[in-house]
Structure formats: C-alpha cells, structure tokens
C-alpha cells in the first residue's frame, strides 16, 4: 500500500495540512522512507504515535503497515524497556537527537536487538512537531557492518540536514562524481565539467576555469561560489548559488589527479547578502537625501558615518571627518550648551535634545542624540527660519498683548478671524458681550460659538474680500441663549505681500438701542393713534348716541311686541361700537384706575349678565365667585372690561362644544397678612403656541381673521391690571386650552351698596325746562323726545352762541345740558358765560371723548355732571334728575 507520506504529497494543496510531513519534507529526510532502505524507519507525531513507516519496518517486524500505523511507538519494544524508550521519545520531541538500544518484539513474538535513532522534526517556527525514528536490527549484521551502516546513515543524514554533498573531479577527463543529489538542481546534477560550465554564466565559467587551473598548478585549495541556473533561463527565481570547496586529494597510478571536496547550497546566504546591501544602499541614499544632518558616533566618540547634509554643516571633506574624534571635527562643541547633552545621552542611555545658536555657522540648530548601544546617532536640524519666525511671533504676541490690554478697555467686541472664520483673537469686550469662555474661543469658528444667519455671513465675507470692508447689522444668539443685534464693521487685513490674511470685526451691541427706538416708535404710533382716536371719538360717539337713544325709545314703545327684540339688538350693537371706541382711547391715552371700592361678586354677576347670552351655541360659562364681601379698589367699568375681553377671547378660541370657567378666590400674600384676589379664566379651546404667547401682549397683534380683532384687547387688559396694581399670567400647552390668571390686591373695606335702579316716577320732570345744546340735530331731537316723554319741557340750541341768546330770552330755564365740542361756541365757553352772568342754573356737560380731566378746573367745579357719549336713556335721565335735585324749583336767579 502507498505510504501515508506519499498520500500527503499527492493530495491537493491545502487539503491535508500535516505539520509532521511538511517538516519531514522541509528537512529533506523523506528519502529515508523509501522501500529501498534496509533499516526499518517510522515517523511519529508529537504524541509518539506512529503515522507512517517504510517497507523494511514491516519486513523486519512481521507487521503489515496497516497494523503499525496509529500505535504508540513504544509498543514495538518489550514492556520492561518501554519507560526508558518513552524517555528517549520525550527527549527527541523536546528537540534533541537521541540514540537508544532496546529489545524489539516481532509479530511472531521473537525478540530482536534494535539500535534506535531519533531525529526531531521542526516546523518553520522551530517547534518540534514529531520525529523520524530509524531502527537497525543488530542481530542480523556484524558489528563492523553495523558500524559502517550507522556511520553511512548518519553521514547521509548530516549531509541532507546541512545541504552538503561530496564531489570529485577527474582533472584529466573532467568527469564529475557526487555523493548525492543537490536538491536545488532539481534532478539535473551535472556529471562532467562541461555540463557544470553550461549552467554558469560567462563570468562565472571563466572564474571557475581560472580557479581550477590555479588549484591544479599550485596545489591550492579551491573555494568558489557559483551562480547556477539549471533551467537555463534568466528567471531570478531559478538561479541557485553553490559553494564548491576542495583540493587535489588523490593521485591515481596512471598519474592522473582527482580534485575532491564538498558542495554547499548558499543561495539563501547570497540572497540575504544582496538584500542587506540593497537595504544599506537604500538607507544610505535616504539618509543622504535628508535635508537634516545625520551622523553616527562610536563608543570612542569617533565619527563613523555622516550624511551629505552633515558634511555641509561641518564644512569639511568627508575624509577629514570619518574616523576622527567628534571634539576635533567640531571643536566649538566643547564647553558649549551642546557638550553636556551629548555626554548625558551616552552616560544615561537616554535620548537628549538641545537647541541653540551655532555662532560659527550663524544658524540656530536643534540637535537630538539617540543612544545606540555602540555610541550615538545624532540628528541635526537647521531651525533658523523657524526660530526667527518664533521670535518674531513672540515679539508680535508681546505687542499684541500690549495692544490687547488697550483693546480690552473697549466695551466694543473686537475679534480677529482667519479666512476660514477661525478666531485668532477676541478682546474682553467680545468675551463679555457674547458670554464666551475665554479659554475656549481661540481656534473655534464664529458659527461654533454663536447662532447667526449663515447666508448673511457668506454675503459679508464675499463683500469684505471684494471691497476690503463691510458694515451691517447682525442678529446673533449667544451660548447662554440671549438674542442680540450688533452693528458690525468688518475690515480685511493683509499680510506683507498684500494677500488677504484675516478679518478684523468690531461689533457694538445695539439691542437696547433698537428696543428704545422701537419703544419710541410705538409711543409715537400710540400718540398718533390717541390723537386720531380722540379726533374721531367725538364724531363716532355723536353717531352712536342717537342710535342708542333711538333703540331705547323704540324698545320702550315696542315693549311686548316682536320688534322689541330688534330694537334691543340695535342698542347692543351700538354699545359694542362705543366699547370699541373706549378701548382704543383707553389703550392710546393710558389707563388711570379709579379709587372706588368694587364688589367682586357683583362684578362677576354683571359679567355673567353681559356675556351669558353672547356665547356661541354649545359653549357653557361657569363662574365661581370669591367669598362674599370681597372688595378691590379701582374702576368697576375697566375691571369689567378686562373680564369681558378675556371671556370673549375664550369664546372665540373654542370650537363647540366647550366650556369657560371663571374661578375667583382669595389667597394670602407672601409678605404680609393681607390677601390677593386671584381670578382664573380657563377655556377648553385650541390653546396657544409658545410663539403666539411670546407676542400676546404686543399692540395690534392678533390671531383672529381680518375684521374680527383689533389686537388691542389683551394689551389693554394688561395696562388696566397694571394701573390697578395687579398682574396677569398665561399658560397653554398649545393643545388643550388656555388659562389666564389675574391677581389684584384685595381691599379691607366694606362692599359698596347696590346701585339704585332708575324709577320713571322718580325722574319725571314735572314741567321743568331743560335747554339742550348740541350741534348734532339727531341728538337734539332724540334727547328732546326722551325728556319730553318724562315730563320735561325742552328748548334746543345748535351752538353755544345760540344757547346764550336763548338763555337770555328764556328766564325760566331750570338746567343746561350742553355738548363740549361745537363749531360755533363750545360748551366750555357757554359755562364761562353763565359763570360770568352769575347764573346759578345747574349745568351738565356731554362729550364724545372721555376727557373730563382736560376740562379746566373752574369749569368742572361749576358743572353738576359730566356724561360721556354715547348716551343711554337711564344715565341721561339720572344725570338730569340728580342735577336738578340739588336746587329748588324756579332755578333762575
């Protein structure tokens, strides 16, 4: 059957990676398994198990090959000697060549005297993977034969391991004889000198011929290395190098001489030498190409190598440097700052670096000395340019520090950036303005430290590169979340060659200035609005007064009929128009709170009465009043306006069905024993986003459709509450409604008495005469109609001048009811005329503006009342009744 080794050889590459057979093949010991061998040979693995054997092993033991494979090697010896043989196996597997002697046991049971040789097998990492075991049957051969065979086998084994074979050359005939095959020649071992010469190149062939001639002539030893190419091609991989060593050793009886010796494959050594030379040449060329100096100093301080750049540094010929003492080559080192580092590197076996001024060469140098064990490797670098730049930079930094101290005094933000916008300098003003960390600014870009409009930055950069400067406003957000607007000026900085180098920017914080400007513009706009509102308020209220009075008169006359509801609708619309006018005037002119006690319970009851029927279908209103007797000080009308506005907004925010809750309660103050009134107005509407809440108090801002809202309601609410010493907060998650929380200081006073309703019998005129003065015919006619219906006699005048004539002609006038603003003699002039006439008649003024405060004090003191248009029948009748009630009948004196 085939050997296991032969099967391994025949298997495809990589199919059976047996390390033992690979090591056997690499050691060129596979021929010992040939069937032609007389000795029994086996191969064992690292566990001492037989994995192959030759035919002689089977023949001498009587076992078939299949019976031997897989058995421990110690099974072939008698049991009494197996421990000793196992020790020999262990030594062989430890890497030692071992010889032993033992009694073998044949298959028949017969014993035989065996001489056993163990040859360890190594893999590429010199790890023992198995052993070749050679057994000789000493019982079958004489001692001399056994010795010869052993020596021959060992010699052949040694030759194969060493790669050496013997050779002979008959000088007369050129016949070559070999003691074995040279494996590197792959079966083409030459048998004569001509065949050997044919494997050589021309140069080597000539060298061999000369060496043989000299050896034969002078009896000299032959020692020559030749490059053989057994394949006769130019492929470098086929070339082998063989060293031939020999001398004339035999003289035959016929006088011919024989040259004999040994041949050794030295291909690996030659290739290694070539590679080493190539590496040395590459290293030498690389080191010589360096722009820095490099030298090697031996242990005696002599220079053994310098590259070309070091030769330039030293200024001597290479021949005057190599082999000389370092201190002689560069004597200025002695006593300089460089001598001690050199000596420390040797004495301490540590890398040492030094830099300094080489005055003899006029350059700055950086020297590094590396200990090598046999001396020093020295690296020398010219750093003159770098050092000059460093010194210039240090000087510039010193100047910049001085300048920076001056710049830090400035409150402006001064920043220097390179063209990639990386910050190279920032003064204290910039650090403070932008809230930067002073230790984390340099090297960062402005985009990394601030949030700003990247498109504006690109436009500004393009402009400054093209024109050399740029100026504009920049909105930024600082790392701590502040939004700033800065007036920034950019200036392009250039280097000595005139090339753009950096951008200097100076920024001034104008955030507060812009806020003041906006506040001023808003104030101017509100002032204009106030002027405009005041201008139209009179006319609008004059328009609304007849509508209100007419609707009330119609409602009274149509009571109990279907048309009464229509009259009530007209009156409600007129009141809403009047409320809008008051709202604009209140916001434009500011709010002055009253000083009257206001019953909060009554206020909320009035709120429910006013808005209860105006809510959208499906929207409910729930009001929780505070404890009975809760009072605040202020203007009840203004506070009611606040609540109506909030409930109206809540109604608009709800998509029915929904609910509005007004919850009022008293809470203790934190700072004293007093209480505050807290009112929550809560709705289930769509809520508000953070963006809407942020602008909620801006005048004219509204989320309602055009025509549905003025944007003045909530700003007016806030103004009224501030005037009353209160505040308002809002909370909404943008999904489930909103909550407005009002706070007002509670007053420790008694609640005011409930107002007395107007009684028709109480306010009847009983024939008393009222002079009505107004430039609007509709107002004169409707006021006259209302007063006449309540028992008054009425005279009318379209102006103050006409009123004076009529008053002089009618001695029995009991009360003057006059408008303030008229084109031909206004109400104030009329009052002054009456005062000058010493008339004691009561006077009630009417105005389309809420401007009683603008009436002169002496005029206001003379008047018995002041009515704000649009008028309602109840307020008009009550004012007239109250004024007349202060004087006896026949009021003219």
Cα–Cα dist 755/765, whole Å = 21
Cα–Cα dist 632/596, whole Å = 8
Residues of the chain with pLDDT under 70: 1-3, 13-17, 140-163, 180-188, 230-238, 249-255, 280, 400-408, 523, 526-539, 574-594, 670-673, 705-711, 751, 753-762, 850-853, 886-893
* Start-to-end CA span in the chain (Å): 162
SS3 373: coil
Cα–Cα dist 111/114, whole Å = 9
Contacts of 90 (CB under 8 A, 6+ apart): none
Query: Which helix (H) or strand (E) covers residue 509, if one does?
Result: strand 500-509
Helices and strands (H, E) in the chain, number of each type: 27, 33
Contacts of 771 (CB under 8 A, 6+ apart): 794, 795, 796, 797, 803, 806, 807, 810, 813, 815, 816, 817, 818
DSSP assignment of 856-883, as one string?
A: -HHHHHH-SEEEESSP-HHHHHHHHHHH
Distances (CA, A) of 701 to 691, 710, 714, 832: 12, 8, 9, 45
Beta strands in 684-776 (DSSP E): 727-732, 738-745, 769-773
User: What pTM, to 2 d.p., does this model score?
Assistant: 0.40
Contacts of 860 (CB under 8 A, 6+ apart): 852, 866
Q: Among 489, 750, 789, which Cα is nearest to 633's?
A: 750
User: What pLDDT score was predicted for residue 144?
Assistant: 45
Rg (CA), the chain: 61
Contacts of 838 (CB under 8 A, 6+ apart): 893
What's the DSSP call for residue 113?
Answer: E
User: What pLDDT score was predicted for residue 606?
Assistant: 86
Return the C-alpha torsion angle 595, 597, 603, 605, nearest 10.
Answer: -160
Cα–Cα dist 559/767, whole Å = 26
Cα 662 off chain centre by? 48
What's the DSSP call for residue 812?
Answer: T
Please state, as a whole number, how many other Cβ atoms lie within 10 Å of the Cβ of residue 774. Answer: 26
SS3 167: strand
Cα–Cα dist 368/372, whole Å = 13
User: What pLDDT score was predicted for residue 681?
Assistant: 94
Q: Are 76 and 82 in contact (CB under 8 A)?
A: no
């Amino acid at each position: 059957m085939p050997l296991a080794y032969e099967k391994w050889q025949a298997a495809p590459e990589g199919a059976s990676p047996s390390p033992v057979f690979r090591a056997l093949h690499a050691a060129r010991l596979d021929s010992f398994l040939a069937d032609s061998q007389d000795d029994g040979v086996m191969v064992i693995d690292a566990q001492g198990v037989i994995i192959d054997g030759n035919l002689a092993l089977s023949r001498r033991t009587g076992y078939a090959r299949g019976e031997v494979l897989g058995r421990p090697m110690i099974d072939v010896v008698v049991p009494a000697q197996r421990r000793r043989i196992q020790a020999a196996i262990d030594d062989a597997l430890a890497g030692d060549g071992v010889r032993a002697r033992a009694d073998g046991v044949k298959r028949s049971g017969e014993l035989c005297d065996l001489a056993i040789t163990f040859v360890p097998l190594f893999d590429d990492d010199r790890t023992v993977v198995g052993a070749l075991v050679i057994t000789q049957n000493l019982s079958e051969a004489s001692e001399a034969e056994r010795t010869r065979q052993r020596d021959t086998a060992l010699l052949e084994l040694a030759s194969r391991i060493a790669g050496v074979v013997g050779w002979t050359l008959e000088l007369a005939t050129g016949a070559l004889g070999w003691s074995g095959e040279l494996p590197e020649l792959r079966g083409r071992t030459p048998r004569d000198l001509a065949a050997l010469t044919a494997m050589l190149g021309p140069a080597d062939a000539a060298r061999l011929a000369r060496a043989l001639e000299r050896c034969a002539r002078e009896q000299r030893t032959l020692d020559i290395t030749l490059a053989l190419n057994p394949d006769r091609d130019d492929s470098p991989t086929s070339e082998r190098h063989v060293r031939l060593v020999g001398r004339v050793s035999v003289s035959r009886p016929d006088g011919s001489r024989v040259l004999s010796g040994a041949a050794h494959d030295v291909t690996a050594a030659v290739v290694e030498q070539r590679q080493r030379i190539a590496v040395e040449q590459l290293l030498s060329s690389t080191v010589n190409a360096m722009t820095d100096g490099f030298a090697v100093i031996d242990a005696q301080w002599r220079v053994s190598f310098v590259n070309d750049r070091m030769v330039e540094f030293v200024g001597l010929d290479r021949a005057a440097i190599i082999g000389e003492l370092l201190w002689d080559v560069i004597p200025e080192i002695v006593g300089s700052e460089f001598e001690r580092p050199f000596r420390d590197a040797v004495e301490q076996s540590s890398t040492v670096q030094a830099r300094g001024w080489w005055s003899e060469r006029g350059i700055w140098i950086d020297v590094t000395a590396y200990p090598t064990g046999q001396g020093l490797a020295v690296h020398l670098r010219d750093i003159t340019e770098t050092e000059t730049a460093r010194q210039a930079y240090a000087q510039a930094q010193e100047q910049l520090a001085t300048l920076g101290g001056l710049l830090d005094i400035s409150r402006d933000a001064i920043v220097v950036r390179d063209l990639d916008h990386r910050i190279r300098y920032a003064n204290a003003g910039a650090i403070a303005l932008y809230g930067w960390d002073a230790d984390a600014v340099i090297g960062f870009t402005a985009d990394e430290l601030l949030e700003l409009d990247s498109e504006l930055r690109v436009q500004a950069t393009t402009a400054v590169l093209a024109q050399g400067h740029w100026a504009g406003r920049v909105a930024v957000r600082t790392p701590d979340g502040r939004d700033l607007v800065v007036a920034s000026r950019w200036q392009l900085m250039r280097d000595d060659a005139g090339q753009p180098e950096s951008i200097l920017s100076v920024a001034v914080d104008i955030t507060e200035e812009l806020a003041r400007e906006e506040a001023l513009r808003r104030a101017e706009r509100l002032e204009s609005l106030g002027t405009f509102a005041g201008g139209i308020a009179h006319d609008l209220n004059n328009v609304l007064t007849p509508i209100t009075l007419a609707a009330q008169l119609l409602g009274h006359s149509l009571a109990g009929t279907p048309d009464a509801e229509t009259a009530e609708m007209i009156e409600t619309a007129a009141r809403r128009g009047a409320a809008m006018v008051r709202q604009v005037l209140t916001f434009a002119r500011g709010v002055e709170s009253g000083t009257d006690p206001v019953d909060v319970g009554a206020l909320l009851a009035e709120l429910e009465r006013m808005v209860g029927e105006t809510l959208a279908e499906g929207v409910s209103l729930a009001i929780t009043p505070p404890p009975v007797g809760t009072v605040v000080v202020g203007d009840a009308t203004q506070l009611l306006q606040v609540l109506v506005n909030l409930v109206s907004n809540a109604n608009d925010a709800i998509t029915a069905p929904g609910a509005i809750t007004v919850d009022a309660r008293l809470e203790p103050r934190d700072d004293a024993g007093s209480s505050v009134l807290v009112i929550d107005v809560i709705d289930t509407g769509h809520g508000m986003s953070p963006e809407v809440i942020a602008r909620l108090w801006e005048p004219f801002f509204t989320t309602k459709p055009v025509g549905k809202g003025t944007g003045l309601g909530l700003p007016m609410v806030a103004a009224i509450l501030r005037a009353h010493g209160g505040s308002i907060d809002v909370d909404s998650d943008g999904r489930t409604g909103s909550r407005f929380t009002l706070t007002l200081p509670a007053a420790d006073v008694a609640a005011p008495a409930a107002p007395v309703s107007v009684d028709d019998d109480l306010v009847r005129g009983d024939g008393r005469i009222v002079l009505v003065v107004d430039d609007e015919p509709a107002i004169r006619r409707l006021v006259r109609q209302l007063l006449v219906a309540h028992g008054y006699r009425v005279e009318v005048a379209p102006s103050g001048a006409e009123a004076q004539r009529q008053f002089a002609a009618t001695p029995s006038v009991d009360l003057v009811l006059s408008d303030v603003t008229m084109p031909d003699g206004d109400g104030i002039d009329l009052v002054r005329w009456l005062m000058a006439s010493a008339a004691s008649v009561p006077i009630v003024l009417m105005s389309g503006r809420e401007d009683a405060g603008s009436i002169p004090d002496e005029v206001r003191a003379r008047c018995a009342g002041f009515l704000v248009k649009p008028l309602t029948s109840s307020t008009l009748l009550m004012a007239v009744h109250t004024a007349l009630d202060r004087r006896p009948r026949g009021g003219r004196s």
